[in-house]
């Protein structure tokens, strides 16, 4: 028992190492609410428990039910005194718990890891196997996203898209921390421990963070659906767009996680699958990292209403200007967009739509688009920034402005007046 405890503590420490390294790498420079981060981390850990319970049912053979039944009956005969209660326990154990558990385990087994062995022996069906790994991967994502969403409901932590990504990553890290403890404990002492340890702390942890990060990104987008809707010209009501975005993030995270888990499992039979799994994680991780670097992601969109300043622009002009900004943005006149947005924000400092257009244009000017950045690195080309701006292209006018008091202008005015009088006289003459 004591050695079991010390092994648990050892595995806990071993799992904590990657957490500290990852957190240090990710958030050393950035500000993040430490208390909320800790709570989310704990939440991530907690989500492991129901999943492991479920997985336990999955892999336990139906015969184990007899053992459970015996334990329950032993317990009641040893500690309970009331005959009625003992009868009830024995009824419950033999007629309710036993058959129900038997059925659950039998069904669970059909899709279980035991089938994996049957596949390896050529007697099982792959159809049962793949959905199992997909299913667990998906369940993990469902639980992790629930942590972020409930934390945001309670603490209102997501004020910019990147907040959402960061906190979601913390939830993923918490999950992988708890999962690692259990895996390390099971694998302790085996030959493969070191390779498993290294693989898990690097790739599996990064994977959990990356999948959660993707969900976090879409959750963040969904929170600012109204703003994003205006910027991206989406049609439909805000609530639908919001739900669609959350769902999209969840589905992408689930599918990628499922592919990752499946390829890790398949790699036990077919080695190259492992390389694919690593490649998948590394590329998603780089993509998520670059996504976090974008300015648009850091833009604080959830502002305190009591601090907001009112606009000094009339509604119709605002619409006209937003249309113009949108058109120019799509025509890649990014410098113009930034200039117009700057002047717009002087008049209406809290307009989120304008703020988002401005930062997105800046991201384009500075070449912060993740896909382009990756592509340019691969092709070894400098980031090409296209800009079709016009306002800067032309020199400010060579028209005089402050001449109203000059002698020349007064003379000109007199001449014009004289001309008018002439014309009038001329017209009168004709009559």
Which residues make up the interface to other proteins (CB under 8 A)?
313-314, 316-317, 320-321, 323-324, 327-328, 336, 339-340, 343-344, 347, 390-391, 393-401, 403-404, 408-409, 412-413, 416
How many angstroms separate the CA atoms of 135 and 431, rounded? 96
Closest separation in Å from C-beta 377 to other proteins:
35
Residue closer to other proteins, measured from CB, 303 or 327 = 327
Closest separation in Å from C-beta 403 to other proteins:
7
Residue closer to other proteins, measured from CB, 70 or 320 = 320
Residue closer to other proteins, measured from CB, 158 or 353 = 353
Residue closer to other proteins, measured from CB, 161 or 231 = 231
- Rg of the chain over Cα atoms, rounded to whole angstroms, equals 33
Closest separation in Å from C-beta 326 to other proteins:
8
Residue closer to other proteins, measured from CB, 377 or 392 = 392
First-to-last CA distance in the chain? 122
Question: How far apart, in Å, are the Cα atoms of 110 and each of 59, 86, 190, 272, 334?
Answer: 9, 34, 28, 28, 58
Question: How far apart, in Å, are the Cα atoms of 89 and each of 64, 66, 83, 103, 260?
Answer: 19, 15, 10, 20, 44
Closest separation in Å from C-beta 393 to other proteins:
7
Residue closer to other proteins, measured from CB, 73 or 345 = 345
Angle at 271 between CA 265 and CA 276, to 5 degrees: 75
**DSSP single-letter state for residue 277:** H
How many angstroms separate the CA atoms of 100 and 102, rounded? 5
Instruction: Enter the tokens of residue 21.
Output: 């390294």
Residue closer to other proteins, measured from CB, 268 or 422 = 422
Closest separation in Å from C-beta 409 to other proteins:
5
Question: How far apart, in Å, are the Cα atoms of 126 and each of 110, 112, 140, 264, 339?
Answer: 11, 11, 22, 15, 59
How many angstroms separate the CA atoms of 409 and 41, rounded? 74
Angle at 340 between CA 339 and CA 344, to 5 degrees: 120
Residue closer to other proteins, measured from CB, 347 or 372 = 347
Residue closer to other proteins, measured from CB, 75 or 403 = 403
Backbone angles phi, psi at 421, to 5 degrees: -60, -40
Closest CA to 357 of 240, 348, 306, 158: 348
Closest separation in Å from C-beta 316 to other proteins:
7
Residue closer to other proteins, measured from CB, 74 or 416 = 416
Per DSSP, the residues of 219-271 read HHHHHTHHHHHHHHT--S-HHHHHHHHHHHHHHHHHHHHHHHHHHHHHTTTST
**DSSP single-letter state for residue 97:** I
| Three-state DSSP state, 331 | coil
Closest separation in Å from C-beta 309 to other proteins:
16
How many angstroms separate the CA atoms of 394 and 162, rounded? 37
Closest separation in Å from C-beta 296 to other proteins:
22
Instruction: Enter the tokens of residue 248.
Output: 């999209």
């Amino acid at each position: 028992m004591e050695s079991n405890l010390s092994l648990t503590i050892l595995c806990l420490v071993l799992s904590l190492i990657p957490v500290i390294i990852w957190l240090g790498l990710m958030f050393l420079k950035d500000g993040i609410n430490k208390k909320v981060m800790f709570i989310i981390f704990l939440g991530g850990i907690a989500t492991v428990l129901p999943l492991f319970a479920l997985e336990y049912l999955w892999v336990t053979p139906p015969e184990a039910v007899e053992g459970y039944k015996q334990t329950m009956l032993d317990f009641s005969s040893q500690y309970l005194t009331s005959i009625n209660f003992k009868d009830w326990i024995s009824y419950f154990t033999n007629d309710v718990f036993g058959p129900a558990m038997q059925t659950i385990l039998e069904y669970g087994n059909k899709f279980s890891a035991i089938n994996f062995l049957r596949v390896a022996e050529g007697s099982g069906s792959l159809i049962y196997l793949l959905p199992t790994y997909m299913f667990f991967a998906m369940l993990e994502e469902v639980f992790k996203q629930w942590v972020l969403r409930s934390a945001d409901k309670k603490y209102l932590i997501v004020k910019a898209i990147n907040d959402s990504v960061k906190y979601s990553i913390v939830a993923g890290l918490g999950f992988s921390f708890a999962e690692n403890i259990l895996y390390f404990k099971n694998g302790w002492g085996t030959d493969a421990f070191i390779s498993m340890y290294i693989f898990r702390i690097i790739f599996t942890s990064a994977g959990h963070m990356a999948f959660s990060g993707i969900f976090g990104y879409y959750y963040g987008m969904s929170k600012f659906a109204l703003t994003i809707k205006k910027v991206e010209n989406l049609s439909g009501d805000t609530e639908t767009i919001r739900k669609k975005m959350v769902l999209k993030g969840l589905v992408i995270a689930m599918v990628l996680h499922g592919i990752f888990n499946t390829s890790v499992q398949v790699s036990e039979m077919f080695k190259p699958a492992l390389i694919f799994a690593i490649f998948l994680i590394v590329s998603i991780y780089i993509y998520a990292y670059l996504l976090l670097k974008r300015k648009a992601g850091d833009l604080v969109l959830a502002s305190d209403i009591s601090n907001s300043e009112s606009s000094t622009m009339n509604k119709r002009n605002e619409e006209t200007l937003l249309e113009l900004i949108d058109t120019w943005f799509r025509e890649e006149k990014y410098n113009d967009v930034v200039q117009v947005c700057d002047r717009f924000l002087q008049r209406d400092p809290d307009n989120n739509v304008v703020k988002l257009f401005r930062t997105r244009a800046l991201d384009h000017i500075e070449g912060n688009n993740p896909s382009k950045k990756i592509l340019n690195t691969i092709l070894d080309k400098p980031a090409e920034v296209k800009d079709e701006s016009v306002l800067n292209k032309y020199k400010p006018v060579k028209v005089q402005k402050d001449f109203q008091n000059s002698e020349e202008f007064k003379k000109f005015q007199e001449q014009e007046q004289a001309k008018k009088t002439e014309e009038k006289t001329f017209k009168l003459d004709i009559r």
